[in-house]
A and B are shown apart, each in its own frame.
Chain A
Amino acid sequence: MKLRILLVILINLFFLSKLLVAQEMTALEILKKVDEVEKYDHAIMEMEQVITTSGGDKRLLKIKSWSVNTGDKQLAVYTYPKRVKGVKILMLNDGDDIWSYSPRTRRIRHLASHAKKQKVMGSDFTYEDMGGGKMSEKYTGKLKGEETFEDVSCYVLEMIPTPKGPSYGRIVGWIGKHDFVARKIDYYNKGDKKPFKTLFLRDVQNRDGHLVPMEMVMKNHEDDGTTENLTLNIDFKTPIQASRFKSNRLNR
């Protein structure tokens, strides 16, 4: 009798383990889940950016941005300090087309896509870090395992950029297993074994039904500088007029 019970338990355990393996997600499925979580129709955001150099020198910038279709179209306007107040950056087609506007010269400049590799206003974020687009289209992923990062159980994904993706050699992301929100991303240059910068995403809050990391910190390992992006306010409810994303209207 005991033997029969043990056999039933073993058989059940066998099928249960099969079921669990079947439920283990592939990297592509995880990336598609991330895309679902990050998806939004429109967002208006106010943000503070603190750039800190290795010597402890700090600069504060304030930015208001409007974006639609998960960042496919984005307009950022610097509101502080006075040195950059009124500077506008318009990114269309997931950041492939960039325009900048300077209020001092009143000039609108169309930048080529290689400008995406440039740092924005001295921060550790590049234009391509700010660009929108689907993770599952920008990267091909490989599930490396699972880890707990800052008390959050995460999938660890190695991601190689597709031709549509950014210029990095690869990135490794820690994706929350339960909410599919990225908690940490290591950025590697081509051929490098150590990341040259790491993004930490913290203070995940539910805003209008969207999970948003309110604090993003980019740590640059090369110059030991950091850039903190603190979301002060984000609004997913107010619709945005399509005309806001016209390059011809940047000088308005």
Chain B
Amino acid sequence: MKKVLIISLGMIALISFPVFSQESELEFGGYLEDTLSSERNIALDKTVVSNQTRIRLNIKNSYGDRGDLSVAIVGTRYSGYKTINLCDYLPEEEASRFPTAVSYDKTDDIWFQEAYGSLYLGQTTLRAGRQKYYTGTGYAWNPTDLFNWKDVFDPAYEIEGLDSVLFARSLPGDSLVSLYYSFGTSHDRPQRDYVESEDGDYQFKLKTHLFSWEITLQHSDVIKEYVDYEGVLNGTVDPTAMTSPIRWKLNALEVSGELAGIGIHAEGGEYTLSRPDDKDGDLPGKLESHTKYLVGADYTFENGVFVILEYYHEGLGETNLEDYSLNQRMAYYSGERDSLGKDNYYLGTSFPVTDFSTLALYVITNGNDGSTILNPWFTWIADDDISLYLSAQIPDGEEESAIGRSGSVLFGRLVFNF
């Protein structure tokens, strides 16, 4: 009810823009993207090929400097191998514990990735509706971003919009104070039945500058799901109650700047976890209050070679692969968590081969179990509006390590912007 009220009020305010302003500019755009991928499925002992065709249509109506209405509609169509079975990535011994596959099929879909209205009142921005919202300074990982899931193999790819309201106000000295309230729903997660609307997620942020450093203080309060596969398999948890809400409270700091000409970025904070559905209950599995942080450095050499290095400390990570639990592994393969190990490294380098093409190599290493994934990228701007991306993921490590039974992946992506 509260959600409907806020969105309605926001939309009413935005629809009234034409009253305030004569000038209005309507823009159309978007892209058509085709991704062909080939993955070695070790569990099935075969190479599976899949194709995703994705189209995004952007429509934006700007009312001068007073605001805008923006909609992004995304449609996807899949062909080839469409099944994602999380058990395929588990070590064989763990996978054999499941009587049935934990899988889903990718289905053709069309949805609103974004649909929001913005109102700009001098130094104040009010944005309501489905919108993208980021936080964090890290490239490969953003441990202080509790709202989004990030793909370490394609960290610059666009994210999904969240149903939310943003209030931001610029302060003197290019500082900013903002309050972001999310209903916790999006296209990927249409509803959260177990949480009352009053338990929505929020983030308070204060960003400022000190010399050439950008510094952000953040407090977040987010409800995330915990899925207890282990409990179901052990018979201690009813399958209908295998998902429980966990409240994540975060006090964090983000910085970016430079030291001796080297770019430095860092983010991290203290996470306090609790169960909103059972105030006296213990946290399930291996969950506990903890600390996460990321420290990174980057540099561009005279010849144009760019290098980035990041270290990510995951407080909930393990130092030994024998300690990985089934629930931790499942959360990792489903994207609910971004690492199994406590100490993670990301090394990347890119080089402009020609004016319109770039070659890059990224190496993602779990410092605790020794597993490594090589992630080369080749980018070619084929025409003014056509880009081609070729990439691979080449894992190396024990089956019991974080990579499990992940096989090599090759993919090509062609993007036409219109």
Contact = CB atoms under 8 A, between A and B. Distances in A.
B355 A252 contact: no
Contacts of B131: 106
B384 A114 contact: no
A78 B406 CA distance: 40
A110 B176 CA distance: 15
Nearest to A252: B120
Given A112-B258, A122-B355, A225-B355, A59 B384 contact: yes
Contacts, number: 110
Interface in A102-150: 104-107, 110-115, 117-119, 122-124
Interface residues of B, number: 47
Contacts of A80: 384
Contact of B168 (A96, A115, A189, A248): A248
A90 B29 CA distance: 23
Contact of A105 (B125, B156, B386): B156
Interface stretch (B35-43, B75-83, B92-100, B300-308): B300-308
Contact of B300 (A57, A115, A122, A248): A115
B354 A83 contact: no
Identify whether the interface residues of B are mostly helix, strand, loop, or mixed.
strand
Interface in A210-252: 223, 225, 243, 246-249, 252
A249 B131 CA distance: 16
A96 B156 CA distance: 24
Given A82-B417, A112-B257, A117 B214 contact: no
Nearest to A92: B174
Interface in B210-256: 212, 214, 256
A83 B214 contact: no
Contact of A110 (B31, B214, B418): B214
A246 B264 CA distance: 21
Name, among B261, B356, B387, B418, the residue most crowded by chain A CB atoms within 10 Å (CB to CB): B356
A83 B381 contact: yes
Contact of B125 (A83, A85, A97, A252): A252
Interface in A145-190: 167, 189-190
Contact of A83 (B118, B132, B417): B417
A40 B386 CA distance: 38
Given A96-B212, A105-B132, A111 B263 contact: yes
Given A57-B356, A105-B132, 16 more contacts: A51-B355, A53-B356, A60-B384, A82-B385, A82-B417, A82-B418, A83-B381, A93-B212, A97-B212, A110-B137, A110-B214, A112-B299, A117-B302, A119-B355, A189-B302, A247-B174
Nearest to A189: B302
Given A96-B212, A112-B262, A119 B352 contact: yes
Contacts of B264: 112
Contact of B118 (A57, A85, A105, A252): A252
A106 B134 contact: yes
B123 A243 contact: yes
A105 B257 CA distance: 22
Nearest to B298: A112
B170 interface: yes
A81 B31 CA distance: 12
Interface string B373-400: 0000000010011110000000000000
A114 B355 contact: no
13 contacts: A82-B31, A82-B418, A83-B385, A83-B387, A97-B212, A110-B137, A113-B258, A114-B262, A117-B304, A118-B306, A122-B381, A248-B207, A249-B170
